[in-house]
Amino acid sequence: MSIKNKVAIVGIGETKVGKLPGRDPITIQAEAIRLALEDAGLTNKDVDCLLAKGLMDEPEFMQSTHLFEYLGMHPKITSCMDAGGASPCLMAMTAASLINAGLCEVAVCVEGENDATFVRRQEGVGMSRVSEESENVYGFIAAPVSYAMAARRHMHEFGTTGEQLAAIAVAMRKHACLNENATMRTPITIEDVMNSRWIAEPLHLLDCCLVSDGGGAFVVTTAERARNLKKRPVYILGAAAQMTHNRISQSPNPTHPGAWDAAPRVYEMAGVGPKDIDVAEIYDCFTITVLEQLEAYRFCGRGEGGRFVEGGRIELGGELPVNTHGGLLSQAHIDGMLHVVEGVRQVRGEGGARQVPNAEIALVTGNGGILSTHTSLILARG
Amino acid sequence: MQEYAKPLPIPNEDTKEFWEGCKRHELLIQRCPECHIYRFYPSSLCPKCMSAQAEWARVSGRGHIYSYAIGRHVRSPAWADAVPYILGIIELEEGVRMMSNVVECKPEEAWIGMPVEVVFEDVTPEITLPKFRPRKEGASG
C-alpha cells in the first residue's frame, strides 16, 4: 500500500524567476513542463496525468484542461489543486498515489504564475472572500500581518528574538548568492534585516518573502520506468500532510503548526529520522515559518528554534543546510514548487556551487495560508 | 462626511444577526444548544457536534489579547490614515477568538494577555465594527 520507493521523480523544470513582464500563467507553466519533460527524456505524448496548482491571482475555470490542450496532451487524469504553498508536495503525493494505484503512469505536476507583474483589478483584495469578511475589514491586508502574530506568540512563549529570525533570512540570502536564477543576490547581515523597515511588527521587510513571476514542474513515474530513463531517479521515500485551519484566529496554536503531526508520519513512512536528513528545503514564506518547522521536524526541541538557527547551522557547510536555492525569501516565491525541484537537484548531485556534499536524503516541506496547511516529502537518491 | 474607504463586511445568511447586533452595540456570539460550546465565526453548523441549530448569546465583550501585530506598511491608500494600527487576535472570556483592532492604545503599550473590552465603531450608517480597548482588570462591562 505504501508509496515508499514505488515512485520516483525523474524530471525537473524551472523557468527564469523574478519579473517576467508580458508573460502569463499558461506560458510560464508550459515552459516549466517542457523543461521538466526534456530533463526526463520524455515527451508530451508520454504524460497521462497533469496536476496543476490552482491560480492565485486570477483563478480560471478548469485551468489544467486549458493547459493540457495547450501542451498537446490527452491525459487520463487532470486537476487543479489548491492548498496554497502546500500544493507542490500535495501534488507529488497525489501523483504518487495515482501511479501506485495503477491509474496512470507518468504524471507532471506544475506551478506557475506572474504574481509580480500581474495587474490587479481590485485593490486590497484579501486571500479569500471569507478573509475579506472577517479579517480585511480590520486591516489584514496580506499574509505578513498574520504571520507577525505567530512570531509574536513564539517570542512570548519561548523568548525567540528578532535577531534569531534574522539569521534565517541571512542564510537564505547566502544561498541565493550562489544561485544564478535567484532574484536577490546581495549578501545581507543580521543588522541589515533588523534595520529593514517594519512590514507588520515584529516582522521586518527582510523577514518576508518575495513576490515573483516564474514557475516550476516535475515528472513522477514508477520506480521501474524510472530505472530506464536517462537520469538517476529520485525516489519518494515518504510523504505526509496535516491541515489545521484557514484563518489564524481559528488556529489551535500558531506556534504549533500541522507540521508537528505530519513530521512523525513522514519519518515513519520513510524509515529515517532527523539525523538522516542531509538537506532540507523548507517552505519559507516568512522567517518564523522556517523556525517553527525546524522545531516540528525535531531538528531541535520545541521553543529552541531560535538557538538552532544561530551560528550558521542552517547555512551551506553547517549541520543542516536549509533552502540551498535561496527559498521564497531570496530566490523567488514560486509557491514551494522550487523547493521540490531543488530537493531533487541536491539528491541527484546537480547542485553545482551550492551542492551539499554527498546529499542522499532530502526533506521538502510545503505550507499554505497562515500556517494553515502543511505537507512534506522525503526524497532519496536512487 | 468623508466616505469610508476601507473594506466592509457583506452580511450573509450566517453573519446577518451578528452584524445587526453590532449595530445595536451588542456583541452576539453563537452557542450550540446541543453541546453548549460557543463558536465564532458564525456558521450554520456546530464545529464540534455538527448540530444545525444555533442560539445567539449576548456576551460581555471582555477578553484579552491572544496575539497582535502592528501594521506599519501602507499597502493600499485606504489604510494610509490608519498606520500604525494594532491588529489583534482577541480571546473572549467565552473561549472563542476573533480578529479585530485594539484601539485607544499606543502600539508599544499592547501586550499578550492584556485585558480588553469591546467597543463599537459606527463606520457607516449600515455597518458597525466591533473593536477592543484596554480594560482595567476587575472592571465590569
Is B70 within 8 Å of B101 (Cβ atoms)? Answer: no
Is A86 within 8 Å of A15 (Cβ atoms)? Answer: no
Q: What are residue A157's phi and psi, to 5 degrees?
A: -75, -35
Please, which residues have CB within 8 angstroms of residue A231's CB and are 6 or more apart in sequence?
Answer: A10, A11, A39, A40, A41, A348
Among candidates A138, A142, A152 on the partner chain, residue whose Cβ is nearest the Cβ of B75 = A142
Does the bond joining B84 to the residue before it have cis omega, within 30 degrees of 0?
yes
Among candidates A139, A144, A198 on the partner chain, residue whose Cβ is nearest the Cβ of B101 = A139
Residue B124 buriedness (CB in 10 A; 0-12 / 13-18 / 19+): exposed
Does the pLDDT value for residue B141 go beyond 50?
no
ipTM of the modeled complex: 0.91
Residues in chain B: 141
Q: What are residue A327's phi and psi, to 5 degrees?
A: 65, -170
Distance from CA of A185 to the nearest CA of B (A): 24
Q: Report the alpha-carbon distance of residue A304 to residue A294 in Å, rounded.
A: 9
Whole-prediction pTM: 0.95
How many other C-beta atoms lie within 10 A of the C-beta of residue A115?
18
Q: Which residue has the cell 547555512?
A: A315
User: What mean pLDDT is predicted for residues B109-128?
Assistant: 97
Residue in chain A nearest B113 by alpha carbon = A156
pLDDT band at B114 (very low <50, low <70, confident <90, very high): very high
- The answer to whether the Cβ–Cβ distance between A199 and B112 falls below 8 Å is no
What pLDDT does residue B138 have? 63
Give the rounded percent of residues in chain B with a pLDDT score beyond 90. 87
In tens, the pLDDT along B62-101 reads: 999 999 999 988 878 888 999 999 999 999 999 999 999 9
What pLDDT does residue A156 have? 98
What pLDDT does residue B2 have? 66
Residue to substitute from A127, A130, A152, A251, interface B, most B β-carbons within 10 A: A152
What pLDDT does residue A133 have? 77
Residue in chain A nearest B98 by alpha carbon = A249
What pLDDT does residue A132 have? 77
What pLDDT does residue A125 have? 47
What pLDDT does residue A124 have? 46
CA A208, A204, A291, A322 dihedral sign is positive
Does the bond joining B130 to the residue before it have cis omega, within 30 degrees of 0?
no
Sheet holding A7-14, edge to edge: A77-81, A49-53, A106-114, A213-222, A7-14, A234-243, A373-381, A361-368, A279-281
Q: Report the alpha-carbon distance of residue A332 to residue B42 in Å, rounded.
A: 37
Nearest C-alpha neighbor of A83 from the set A45, A109, A103: A109
Residue to substitute from A120, A138, A165, A208, interface B, most B β-carbons within 10 A: A138
What pLDDT does residue A229 have? 96
Q: Which residue has the cell 499574509?
A: A143
Which residue stretches of chain A have pLDDT < 50? 123-125
Q: Which residue has the cell 515528472?
A: A219
